[in-house]
Amino acid sequence: MTRETFRRPRALGPGARVAIVAPASPFDPAELEAGAHELRALGFEPVYDESVLARRGYVAGEPAVRAEAFLRAWRDPDVAAVIAVRGGYGSVQLLPLLDVGELRRAAPKAFVGYSDLTTLLSFLTIECRMVSFHGPMLAGKLARGADGYDRDSFRRCLCGTGPVGSLASLGLETLREGDAAGPLVGGTLTQLVASLGTPFAFAPPEGHVLFVDEVGERPYRIDRMLTQLAQSGLLARAAAVVFGELPGCDEPGGTPTARAAVADVLRDFPGPVLFGLSSGHTTRPALTLPLGVRARVVGGPQPRLLIEEAAVSAA
């Protein structure tokens, strides 16, 4: 897979229509309204239909309803981007109902989500070979305005046609030194390893930069999942690894920590390893990361993640 195989969506300009979908769990309608208000404040026009409010137990409606809402937004030439309301669970149920060929033939759109939406991010980036965005959803992030997400990186990724540049956050530290570059892929660790052994298995390109997010998993579970990635051979394909903050992943008593588990499993990793990037599950305003775009990881006294390409094309 080469850099050219990742197609870029068009940049979002003033008045761009952003379709809101619910591929995973149900949500508080007040979060939908607050998040839509924030999209309007950014200069976009949020659109959604009543299916977004569907409910079926712990998911936001029947899989066919959620898949059709996603495809309807994707097929609409007047929609420039698609964003999820929240994660939770359920995105994996859509995959058998999505056609890779159809999505590849269509003009790419910016898709934004994280957590359970890792399933769709990987599907779009790796299977459909287009840039997608590990970024804030409406519930808990956009609904909170500047307290919930980093507006600057959101705009740079989705609206700017130049290289995105440096994405750093307080607390970012180096676990292993080095300097390496490759296409950025990844997401929530639980979803990445749950895909293995299925027709939709996470299959990153050789030489990629792996971003790993997670929340509420104890250190031995982090160890177990990273060990599974290593034993599957996928970790060996990575040129560098960048971890999120992994909030709620330390033992209740404080030790061992998730950081210690990560450092132990990756103690012999040959490339740079960073820990503490504020994207996805984070206690700080969440950064937006463009997946499928060339990134450089610098591990040292001043750790950095540099996005060396534009994530979107001129409208």
pLDDT over 80 (residue 278): yes
If asked whether residues 132 and 252 sit together in one domain, one would say no
The 10s digit of each residue's pLDDT in 173-192 is 999 999 999 999 999 999 99
If asked whether residues 116 and 202 sit together in one domain, one would say no
Burial of residue 248, with CB atoms counted within 10 A of its CB: 0-12 exposed, 13-18 middle, 19 or more buried: middle
If asked whether residues 153 and 171 sit together in one domain, one would say no
If asked whether residues 132 and 262 sit together in one domain, one would say no
One-letter amino acid of 28: D
Write down the pLDDT at residue 1.
Answer: 40
pLDDT over 80 (residue 2): no
If asked whether residues 9 and 154 sit together in one domain, one would say yes
If asked whether residues 9 and 147 sit together in one domain, one would say yes
309 to 73, 128, 151, 283: CA distances (angstroms): 27, 19, 19, 27
Write down the pLDDT at residue 5.
Answer: 73
The 10s digit of each residue's pLDDT in 3-37 is 447 999 999 999 999 999 999 999 999 999 999 99
The 10s digit of each residue's pLDDT in 105-156 is 999 999 999 999 999 999 999 999 999 999 999 999 999 999 999 999 999 9
Write the CATH number for 135: 3.40.50.10740
Domain extent, residue 263, equals 165-307
Write the CATH number for 303: 3.50.30.60
pLDDT over 70 (residue 274): yes
If asked whether residues 80 and 135 sit together in one domain, one would say yes
Taking CB atoms within 8 Å and a gap of at least 24, the contacts of 47-56 are 47/17, 47/18, 47/19, 47/20, 47/79, 48/19, 48/20, 48/21, 51/22, 52/20, 52/21, 52/22, 52/85, 53/22, 53/29, 54/22, 55/26
If asked whether residues 76 and 26 sit together in one domain, one would say yes
If asked whether residues 221 and 152 sit together in one domain, one would say no
If asked whether residues 187 and 44 sit together in one domain, one would say no
Count of structural domains within the chain? 2
Residue pair 91/120 in contact (Cβ under 8 Å)? The answer is: yes
pLDDT over 80 (residue 92): yes
CA distance 180 to 187: 19
Proportion of the chain above pLDDT 90, given as a percent: 97
Write down the pLDDT at residue 315.
Answer: 65
Out of 159, 174, 192, pick the residue that ends a domain: 159
Mean pLDDT over the full length of the chain: 96
